[in-house]
């Protein structure tokens, strides 16, 4: 690295001296390294040593001074000096595409053996020797593979689900509850546990009855386990003879076992249920996380598995005369792509997947194109041209190719200054053959950079949790403090009662009231909240799937509700990604004998043939005037074309009735032909028939005899077609770039069929119209013909029947003759084509404006194209408004000071970024997040994966998107439509509102339970509810209604509200006060019904508050005992009554929770049918448990401590529970009044 930076910064004599020193180092290395090839050393050393100054000067021209070294994941240990020079040189240089080929192949870089022909001065790449490849693979570069992060198991994701504050709180409560349950279990089991343990202890210590088995022969765990099993059998088996086991009868043992199992379940039911719920929730969340973690593995699947390379070997041959000689042998062998190293010479053929980042050295065909859609997301194939490094003197870059080179290089950034000469790993060759040299492998490739970005973004994603997760953590913190304070306060307030005579010792009293405090904690905690949230999000994903949104990560459903910025791509998202001809330019004769250039608007979108051309009659004009220019336009558009439109009577995908096969631009011409008509008259409306009826007829009537393929020099394509009524020979049909095709035209045909000379005035009119179309902007294609009489003699009657290969014809065999053949043309028309905006997007953008969501369009297109589309879809104001627009090129924006960048991003209004690099998307997302925004990001290419992973919401395209982008995203659009994103935002806001409704419902219910226990504890009353009752209410009574609230319909004004702040709490201060009031009433009503029952038995409040001193300081009324009041059915009946009151109140509250502020009379529960079911089911379950003894299940009610209620009891329950509806309506009215006051204040501030 030091040597490299020195060469970059030195010049003149210093550079010359350093270069000579390096050459000496290389010479010494050649003498020592026996693996180097003799012939190769002679060739290379001769080339380099004869012109050291020129090589150094050439390097000085192409190298830029760089102060930082690119990150390297491979160790440079065990490298020879020459390897170290090449290794550092390759990694210091960040752009191998700009290095001249002569320098790239030299010892200073790749050290590729070459052979130069003396006659033609052409350089042949020989390939690396096997030993050299092995040395580079083992000691320098390592395998050509993407580094895979350690695979995580499902169990690791399950454990990760417990890293949540609310879940941890529930675990702590479960553990504390289990501890006190075991303490209580020990007290209730008494001596039974001792009877079970003592025999085991005797046997394991050898103090048994003298049996041979009493003393363990060894201390193995197997023996101990067998003794435990045997003792369990003795205890649980009842023989009927009443034999004693260690002094305990078997009948008594059976009774003890039943007693023990019952009390174990009763003591541990709370921790068991809580833990079970958390485990189920963790399983669901862990499975979801496992499915969402496969984005990086998809990158590896995109790599090529095999590659064909050249290998250079030297063989020692001894002749018959005994003279030894060395011969070079070049073999083309197939190897594993993972074994490629920089310097390998790769053979490139059509259809091949590029195995690494390769520098294109030469092509053997007229064109060489690559499909880079997996990297860029663009569907058009990219032409590739070898970059030699000396553009001015290279014949391959003269003329129009130089213009193409500049056009291709414009806007290129991270993928190299001369990306047109680079082939990137994972892309596919669509046309051509050639030879290339590997320059980057593994993590140094563009695919490796993307993987590194995905990994970094994933780590950032762990640091930036979703708004819902943050709010739940804050909620958990608040809940922990509140519960801790209340439970501690209750226990401390109960300290004087530790010495109550009811308890044998103060410690027993302390334990008792500690259990009361734990019961209070159980009442305060919404045990079912994690499961209900997961279920609600899952139900939201189902509803989104019906709107063409596939959700991959549950938390993203809620995050959509607070999305403040949508960063969207243009192609395929805002536009249809289906090129459409929207303008047809024809020449028409005027009344004065002149010629006018007339434009005709073409209606219709996508590849549907349904549409009209303004001013041109469908079918009739071609039928009435077959020699007019309209007929020739249809002929050129259909015949000079390899695309086809396919129609499906039953669409394959969402709204995809018509699809193209071929290039998008040619498909647009096919659709234009169908809109012109003239060849087929059909009344069928079936898409399969309408799709290509006229095109197929044109092609059947006029078979193609030869094709002059597209060439970037002339920018046109043409075909020879036969069987014309106007002539007996062939006609040449041409389409191409207007500026170049106009130069080769000498005449023009008018709409009525007259042919006029193409003079200067008419040329200027056509050029002016072309410029006008380009500024709108439209892609223009000129259409021209060449009649039979003007063709070369040999082409007039040329037929495929005579020569099945164009190579046999002297003119068609050489592409250099194509421009001459396509001269002397007749101009017939011009088509303006564009990728139109989706019709529904404009309204969706307006909807975003109303919802307070900004839209930022990020595209790689030119500024004019980007701004035009942005105006069409209402992202930017129309040009007629005169308003300033915020449209920046990527480089222009990021060259500004960072403070100015942040200021522009923070300013209100939409923005457009054009000529943007894929890496720019991730930078913009990070900047928006630093400003506190919640950005959603769309993408479809592999290089969009880091930005999708980085964004708060990553949205991938389901149709055009790659698997990598889909797996890195949070959700996938099944129809690639921006309007679907807006619909998903609306659904996300609705889901959050419903989630807030059921969370507040659960918390308000728990507040009521806390109030009930707190009031009874402070007043000294017996517990109106047991811990089992509280758990039943939290899970069964509250769970289904809370889940059903997730189906509440969206509010009518949900998309007219501004995005909620990401730091807004789930429960606002007003809502907290509101639910404290309702909770207080719930607590009073629950305790009131409990106390009311005892008052009806003749007890006073003072007596009830000292219930533990019954028969000590006070006596119950006549005919009543203390046990009948506070034990058995006497205690169970008032508890059943208070539980029923609590259940009824919470179900009434659920019915009232359909709307937060709207009255139950205006928005009734019938708006949500699921809520009716969610209320009915828990109520029926409660009745079933209460009356289970009458249903033949007496044990069920007994396990819950419940007894049947009379009609009078039900009247009492309704008397206490029904007023909750009045309380809710009063609080809703207060909420509506508060909202109106806030709205009026906001209006006054605006005024």
DSSP letters spanning 481-496: HHHHHHHHHHHHHTGG
Q: In angstroms, what CA-CA distances link 517 with 491, 1034, 1136?
A: 6, 17, 21
Angle at 1137 between CA 1131 and CA 1138, to 5 degrees: 90
For 1104-1113, the CB contacts below 8 A with 24+ separation are: 1104/1020, 1104/1021, 1104/1022, 1105/1019, 1105/1020, 1105/1021, 1106/1020, 1107/1020, 1107/1021, 1107/1022, 1108/500, 1108/501, 1108/502, 1109/500, 1109/501, 1109/502, 1112/501
Q: How far apart are the first and last CA of the chain?
A: 66
- Candidates 96, 62, 108, 89; CA nearest to 421 is 96
* From 4, 256, 569, 1209, the catalytic residue: 569
- Candidates 962, 878, 1224; CA nearest to 1081 is 1224
Angle at 1084 between CA 1082 and CA 1087, to 5 degrees: 105
Output b/e per residue, 1010-1036; b: 16+ Cβ within 10 A: bbbbbbbbeebbbbbbbbbbbbbbbbb
**Alpha helix segments (H runs only) across 161-220:** 165-189, 192-204
Angle at 723 between CA 719 and CA 727, to 5 degrees: 95
The span from the CA of 70 to the CA of 48, in Å, is: 27
Give 139's Cβ-side CA count (13 Å radius).
15
Quick check: helix, strand or coil at residue 153? coil
What stretches of 853-951 adopt beta strand conformation (E)?
A: 854-858, 887-889, 911-914, 935-939
φ, ψ (nearest 5 deg) of residue 581: -75, 120
The span from the CA of 291 to the CA of 284, in Å, is: 11
Quick check: helix, strand or coil at residue 907? coil
- Candidates 942, 945, 933; CA nearest to 852 is 933
Angle at 445 between CA 440 and CA 446, to 5 degrees: 140
The span from the CA of 569 to the CA of 339, in Å, is: 37
- Residues across the chain: 1247
The span from the CA of 543 to the CA of 537, in Å, is: 10
Tokens (6 digits) for 776: 């709108």
Contact status, residue 1018 vs residue 1026, Cβ threshold 8 Å: no
| Contact residues for 336 (Cβ-Cβ < 8 A; gap 6+) | 305, 306, 307
Output b/e per residue, 433-443; b: 16+ Cβ within 10 A: ebbbbbbbbbb
**Is residue 569 annotated as part of the catalytic site, yes or no?**
yes
**Alpha helix segments (H runs only) across 611-722:** 620-624, 629-639, 664-676, 687-690, 693-701
Q: For residue 1108, give the DSSP letter.
A: G
Q: Is the dihedral of CA 1141, 1146, 1150, 1155 positive or negative?
A: positive
Name the residue with tokens 């279990």.
185
The span from the CA of 1076 to the CA of 1079, in Å, is: 5
Q: How far is CA 771 from the centre of its chain?
A: 40
The span from the CA of 25 to the CA of 38, in Å, is: 17
Contact status, residue 955 vs residue 971, Cβ threshold 8 Å: yes
The span from the CA of 1064 to the CA of 198, in Å, is: 60
Residue positions annotated with a catalytic role: 569
């Amino acid at each position: 690295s030091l040597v490299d930076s020195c060469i970059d910064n030195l010049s003149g004599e210093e550079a010359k001296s350093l270069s000579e020193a390096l050459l000496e180092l290389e010479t010494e290395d050649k003498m020592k390294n026996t693996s180097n090839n003799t012939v190769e050393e002679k060739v290379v050393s001769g080339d380099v040593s004869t012109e050291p100054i020129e090589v150094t000067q050439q390097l000085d021209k192409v190298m830029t001074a760089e102060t930082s070294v690119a990150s390297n994941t491979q160790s440079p240990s065990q490298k020879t000096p020459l390897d170290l020079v090449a290794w550092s040189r390759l990694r210091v240089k960040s752009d191998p595409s700009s290095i001249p080929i002569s320098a790239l192949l030299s010892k200073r870089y790749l050290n590729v053996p070459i052979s130069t022909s003396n006659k033609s001065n052409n350089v042949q790449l020989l390939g690396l020797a096997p030993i050299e490849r092995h040395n580079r693979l083992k000691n320098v570069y390592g395998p050509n593979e993407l580094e895979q992060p350690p695979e995580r198991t499902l169990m690791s994701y399950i454990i990760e689900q417990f890293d949540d504050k609310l879940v941890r709180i529930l675990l702590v409560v479960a553990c504390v509850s289990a501890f006190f349950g075991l303490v209580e279990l020990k007290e209730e089991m008494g001596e039974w546990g001792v009877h079970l343990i003592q025999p085991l202890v005797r046997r394991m210590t050898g103090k048994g009855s003298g049996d041979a088995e009493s003393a363990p022969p060894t201390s193995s765990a197997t023996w101990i386990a067998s003794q435990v099993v045997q003792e369990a059998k003795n205890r649980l088996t009842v023989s009927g003879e009443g034999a004693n086991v260690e002094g305990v009868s078997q009948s008594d043992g059976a009774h003890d076992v039943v007693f023990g199992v019952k009390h174990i379940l009763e003591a541990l039911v709370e921790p068991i249920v809580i833990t079970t719920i958390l485990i189920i929730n963790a399983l669901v969340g862990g499975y979801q996380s496992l499915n969402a973690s496969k984005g990086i593995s998809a990158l590896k699947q995109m790599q090529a598995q095999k590659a064909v390379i050249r290998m250079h070997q030297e063989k020692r041959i001894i002749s018959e005369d005994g003279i030894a000689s060395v011969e070079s042998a070049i073999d083309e062998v197939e190897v594993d792509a993972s074994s490629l190293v920089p310097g390998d010479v790769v053979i490139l053929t059509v259809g091949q997947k590029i195995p690494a980042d390769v520098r294109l050295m030469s092509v053997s065909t007229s064109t060489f194109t690559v499909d880079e859609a997996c990297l860029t997301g663009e569907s058009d194939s990219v032409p590739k041209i070898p970059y030699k490094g000396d553009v001015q003197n290279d014949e391959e870059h003269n003329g129009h190719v130089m213009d193409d080179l500049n056009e291709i290089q414009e806007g290129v950034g991270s993928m190299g200054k001369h990306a047109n000469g680079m082939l990137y790993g994972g892309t596919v060759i669509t046309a051509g053959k050639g030879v290339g040299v590997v320059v980057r492998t593994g993590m140094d490739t563009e695919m490796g950079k993307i993987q590194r970005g995905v990994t970094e973004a994933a780590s950032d994603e762990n640091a930036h949790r979703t708004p819902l997760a943050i709010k739940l953590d804050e909620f958990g913190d608040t809940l922990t403090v509140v519960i801790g304070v209340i439970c501690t306060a209750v226990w401390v307030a109960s300290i004087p009662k530790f010495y109550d005579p009811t308890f044998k010792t103060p410690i027993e009293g302390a334990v008792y009231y500690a259990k009361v405090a734990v019961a209070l904690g159980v009442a305060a905690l919404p045990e079912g909240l994690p499961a209900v949230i997961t279920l609600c999000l899952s139900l939201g994903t189902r509803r989104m799937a019906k709107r063409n949104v596939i959700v991959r990560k549950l938390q993203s459903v809620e995050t959509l509700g607070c999305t403040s910025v949508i960063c969207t791509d243009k192609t395929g998202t805002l536009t249809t990604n289906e090129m459409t001809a929207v303008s047809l330019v024809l020449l028409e004769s005027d009344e004065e004998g002149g010629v006018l250039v007339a434009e005709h608007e073409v209606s219709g979108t996508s590849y549907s043939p349904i549409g009209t051309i303004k001013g041109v009659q469908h079918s009739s004009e071609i039928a009435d005037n077959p020699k007019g220019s309209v007929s020739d336009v249809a002929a050129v558009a259909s015949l000079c074309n390899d695309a086809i439109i396919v129609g499906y009577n039953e669409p394959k995908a969402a709204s995809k009735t018509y699809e193209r096969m071929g290039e998008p631009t040619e498909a647009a011409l096919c659709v234009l032909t169908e809109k012109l008509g003239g060849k087929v008259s059909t009344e069928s409306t079936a898409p399969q028939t309408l799709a290509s009826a006229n095109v197929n007829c044109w092609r059947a009537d006029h078979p193609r005899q030869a094709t002059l393929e597209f060439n970037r020099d002339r920018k046109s394509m043409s075909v020879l077609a036969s069987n014309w009524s106007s002539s007996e020979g062939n006609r040449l049909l041409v389409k191409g770039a207007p500026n170049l095709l106009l130069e080769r035209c000498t005449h023009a045909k008018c709409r009525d069929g007259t042919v006029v000379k193409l003079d200067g005035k008419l040329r200027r009119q056509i050029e002016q119209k072309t410029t006008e179309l380009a500024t709108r902007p439209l892609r223009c294609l000129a259409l021209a013909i060449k009649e039979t009489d003007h063709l070369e003699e040999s082409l007039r009657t040329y037929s495929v029947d005579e020569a099945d290969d164009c190579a046999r014809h002297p003119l068609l065999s050489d592409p250099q003759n194509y421009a001459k053949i396509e001269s002397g043309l007749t101009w017939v028309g011009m088509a303006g084509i564009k990728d139109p905006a989706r019709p529904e997007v404009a309204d969706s953008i307006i909807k975003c404006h109303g919802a307070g969501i900004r839209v930022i369009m990020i595209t790689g297109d030119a500024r004019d194209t980007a701004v035009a589309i942005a105006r069409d879809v209402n992202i930017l104001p129309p040009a007629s408004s005169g308003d300033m627009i915020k449209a920046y090129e990527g480089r222009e924006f990021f060259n500004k000071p960072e403070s100015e960048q942040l200021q522009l991003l923070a300013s209100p209004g939409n923005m457009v970024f054009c000529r943007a690099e894929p890496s720019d998307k991730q930078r913009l997302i990070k900047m928006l997040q630093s400003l506190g925004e919640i950005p959603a990001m769309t993408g479809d290419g592999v290089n969009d994966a880091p930005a999708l992973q980085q964004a708060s919401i990553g949205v991938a395209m389901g149709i055009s998107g790659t698997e990598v982008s889909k797996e890195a995203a949070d959700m996938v659009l099944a129809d690639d439509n921006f309007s679907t994103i807006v619909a998903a935002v609306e659904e996300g806001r609705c889901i959050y509102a419903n989630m807030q409704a059921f969370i507040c419902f659960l918390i308000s219910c728990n507040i009521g339970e806390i109030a009930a226990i707190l009031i009874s504890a402070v007043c000294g009353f017996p517990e109106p509810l047991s811990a089992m009752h509280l758990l039943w209410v939290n899970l069964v009574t509250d769970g289904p209604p809370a889940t059903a609230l997730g189906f509440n319909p969206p509010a009518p004004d949900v998309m007219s509200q501004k995005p909620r702040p990401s730091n807004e709490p789930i429960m606002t201060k007003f809502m907290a006060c509101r639910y404290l009031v309702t909770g207080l009433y719930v607590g009073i009503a629950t305790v009131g019904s409990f106390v009311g029952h005892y008052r009806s038995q003749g007890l006073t409040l003072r007596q009830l508050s000292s219930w533990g001193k019954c028969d000590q300081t006070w006596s119950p009324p006549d005919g009543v005992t203390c046990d009948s009041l506070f034990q058995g059915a006497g205690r169970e009946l008032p508890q059943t009554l208070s539980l029923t009151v609590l259940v009824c109140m919470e179900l009434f509250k659920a019915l009232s929770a359909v709307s937060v502020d709207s009255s139950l009379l205006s928005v009734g529960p019938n708006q949500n049918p699921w809520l009716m079911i969610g209320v009915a089911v828990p109520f029926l379950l409660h009745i079933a448990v209460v009356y289970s003894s009458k249903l033949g299940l007496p044990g069920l009610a007994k396990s819950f401590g419940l007894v049947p209620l009379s009609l009078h009891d039900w009247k009492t329950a309704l008397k206490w529970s029904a007023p909750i509806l009045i309380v809710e309506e009063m609080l809703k009215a207060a909420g509506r009044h508060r909202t109106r006051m806030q709205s009026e204040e906001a209006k006054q501030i605006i005024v």
